[in-house]
Amino acid sequence: MKNIKIYTILCIAFLVLLGCEEKEYAEFTAPDELSDVSWLIGTQPFVNDPFSINVDTNVPFLDLSQGTVSHEWIIEEGNKFLRTGFKSQDSIFDDYIMEDAGLSITDPKAFVLFKNSGINRVRLLNKFEEKVTYRSSAGNLEAHQEGDLWVIDTTFTFDVYAKILPAFSILKDGVEILNVTGEQETSIEDSDSWPVVEIEAATGLTYRDNTTIGRPNTTTWIIPDGVPNQIGGEEREIKFFKLGTFDAGSLRSLRINELPRFTAEKVIPLKVRVVQSSQPFQFDGALTEDENEVIRFRVNGELVPFSGEEDNFTVNVTNAVSGFNQDIPVASARVSEDNAIFMELILSQPIYNSDVVTVSYNGNGSIESADERPLEAFGPETVQMHFGGNVIPEKGHASFEEPSGAANRAFALNYFTGNNNILGGGAFAFERTTERASDGTASMKWSTPASNPLPNVNLWSFGLARIAPIPAGTYRITYDLYIEPGTTLKTFRTEFNKPAFSRQLWNIENEPRGEWITVSNTVTTQEITPAQNLRFTFRPHVAENAGVTGAQVMYIDNLQFIEIEERP
């Protein structure tokens, strides 16, 4: 028969090879005089880069070449060949290592366990009696001749990510008091022998992430007795308010998004003894209204229970729309039952989230800290008002959780852009993505390789009232944004076409870059019903972005319509 001289590369899910039992292989007998070079590589499906893997990952290889004189799989020192018999769900492979195999085997099936981090190579060396040709979209590569044989020498390159080994240091007043390297192991079981650092109430420690091994891209500090009790960032100041001795917490290091995922957490081997403060006893922020109209604020130490202090507080309430401007008496002042560093005020009249509320304390009362410091006068301080939940009932729509396969729909269900969304070269103005998300697992990415001018593309939504009507009223609209560093976009616009046309301009020129933020706007509308088929539009418009040049990238997520309470 006619010789077949083909070279193909198949990089697939490799479902057969991932279950590594002998019975799952059926040997293939080639027709006479067949010369063919091809193989299968068992990389993971549906990942951005199948050749980026975690250390201790095993990858199956199968040489399907026919008519070879010899073939050989060659690995680098430190990596191992595995024999068959393990299961796809196994995570420990020590019992299957072929110690006698060394760095090469001639079996067509090879299971390589990657033990080395960094760049690793697997080489396939095939020799034929006749010439074979590698044909691919990148071009043709012909076998080269060595003596009487023809050789295809192929190398597969993997970027292997080490296990993350969290490392950190703790500083007091800028001086390092604890340093734990990635190689050091810690355990809560050793807490009795941990060092103790003493700090005054309402002061703090600096937590610094020094992790490099494993290439993490996300940091989370977990401090149950600190403020905040959980926060991201490579370096953070954590305060302690309660008196007593507490564990310093833990560091969680993660590798997420398009990289091979991995999470590691390490306990911080340190105790924090919080003692009486030498500083004045003062208002310390966190002044908020809860959903029951209770005003709550923090002080820089634990409060002693008190009574009869209501007249020493002044609560002023103004409302620009209604013209209201009055001091509302405090009906009750008390220490929070949940946390003694918080005080709570209950007013004698209702307040609304459209009000501006300020709180003052005259300092003439007998409110004291647990260490007998009197509370100093403060104010007026502005209350952060309570806003209810999102009136858009379908979270999947508001957070772009539901995918669509069409580019003219920005790959998101119930959204539409038209064909202008396709910028060419595989780029899109709007594209649903899982690269970043502030809520759920997906967001909408807006990007352009150039800004002269900005793309003439609208992101239209037809799903805001798809499940239930949105009542008439005034709403605070919010978006979560992640603006990539280097993006100079100044504004974007949103528009309603029904019940009456309205447009909102959003100024983001001075908003932070490189982190998730929340921006807001206000709209007043009549009732929006499913039958109206409301079209809600999002678009960065060239008319409002004069002088913006270069590539721009922004992620949007978690659209919310939050009711604003109007004062009667």
Cα separation, 131 vs 494, in Å, equals 63
Cα separation, 539 vs 7, in Å, equals 48
Q: Check: CATH 2.60.40.1220 for 288-382?
A: yes
Of 90-99, 118-127, 376-385, the one with minimum mean pLDDT is 90-99
Question: Residue 292: its pLDDT value, please?
Answer: 95
User: Do the beta carbons of residue 493 and residue 539 sit within 8 Å?
Assistant: yes
Single pTM value for the model: 0.59
Q: 232 forms bridges with which residues in the sheet?
A: 220
Torsion of CA 432, 433, 437, 443, to 10 degrees: -10
pLDDT tens per residue across span 551-568: 999 999 999 989 999 999
Cα separation, 447 vs 119, in Å, equals 31
Q: How far apart are the first and last CA of the chain?
A: 92
Dmax over CA atoms of the chain, in Å, equals 105
User: Do the beta carbons of residue 108 and residue 71 sit within 8 Å?
Assistant: yes
Cα separation, 435 vs 147, in Å, equals 51
- CB burial of residue 298 (10 Å; 0-12, 13-18, 19+): buried
CATH for the stretch 168-275: 2.60.40
DSSP 417-455: --GGGEEETTEESEEEESS--SSTT-EEEEEES--SS--
Question: Residue 556: its pLDDT value, please?
Answer: 97
Question: Residue 389: its pLDDT value, please?
Answer: 85
User: Do the beta carbons of residue 296 and residue 286 sit within 8 Å?
Assistant: yes
Give the count of beta carbons closer than 10 Å to the beta carbon of residue 154.
16
Q: Check: CATH 2.60.120.260 for 395-564?
A: yes
pLDDT tens per residue across span 231-268: 999 999 999 988 899 999 999 999 988 788 999 999 99
CATH for the stretch 7-161: 2.60.40.10
pLDDT tens per residue across span 518-536: 999 999 989 888 777 778 8
Q: Cα separations (Å) of 236 from 179, 233, 239, 458?
A: 15, 6, 10, 39
Question: Residue 138: its pLDDT value, please?
Answer: 65
Q: Is the predicted pLDDT of residue 25 greater than 60, yes or no?
A: no
Question: Residue 346: its pLDDT value, please?
Answer: 98
> Per-residue pLDDT averaged across 264-273, rounded?
98
Fold identical between 168-275 and 288-382? yes
Domain ranges of the chain: 7-161, 168-275, 288-382, 395-564
Q: At 468, is the pLDDT very low, low, confident or very high (cuts 50, 70, 90)?
A: confident
User: Do the beta carbons of residue 380 and residue 283 sit within 8 Å?
Assistant: no
Residues 6 or more apart whose Cβ sits within 8 Å of residue 215: 161, 162, 164, 255, 259
Residues 6 or more apart whose Cβ sits within 8 Å of residue 231: 220, 221, 238
Average pLDDT of the residues of the chain: 88
pLDDT tens per residue across span 165-196: 999 999 999 999 999 999 999 999 999 999 99
Cα separation, 39 vs 43, in Å, equals 12
> Per-residue pLDDT averaged across 209-236, rounded?
95
Q: Is the predicted pLDDT of residue 136 greater than 70, yes or no?
A: no
DSSP 221-245: EE-TTSBSSEEESSEEEEEE-SSEE
Q: At 163, is the pLDDT very low, low, confident or very high (cuts 50, 70, 90)?
A: very high
Q: 368 forms bridges with which residues in the sheet?
A: 374
Cα separation, 301 vs 282, in Å, equals 8
pLDDT tens per residue across span 396-415: 678 899 898 899 999 998 89
Helix (H) or strand (E) holding 332: strand 330-335
Instruction: Compare 313 and 370 and report the one with higher pLDDT.
Output: 313
Q: Residue 13 carries which DSSP code? A: -
pLDDT tens per residue across span 401-460: 989 889 999 999 889 999 889 987 788 999 999 999 998 899 999 999 876 678 899 999
Of 26-35, 322-331, 493-502, the one with minimum mean pLDDT is 26-35
Question: Residue 396: its pLDDT value, please?
Answer: 65
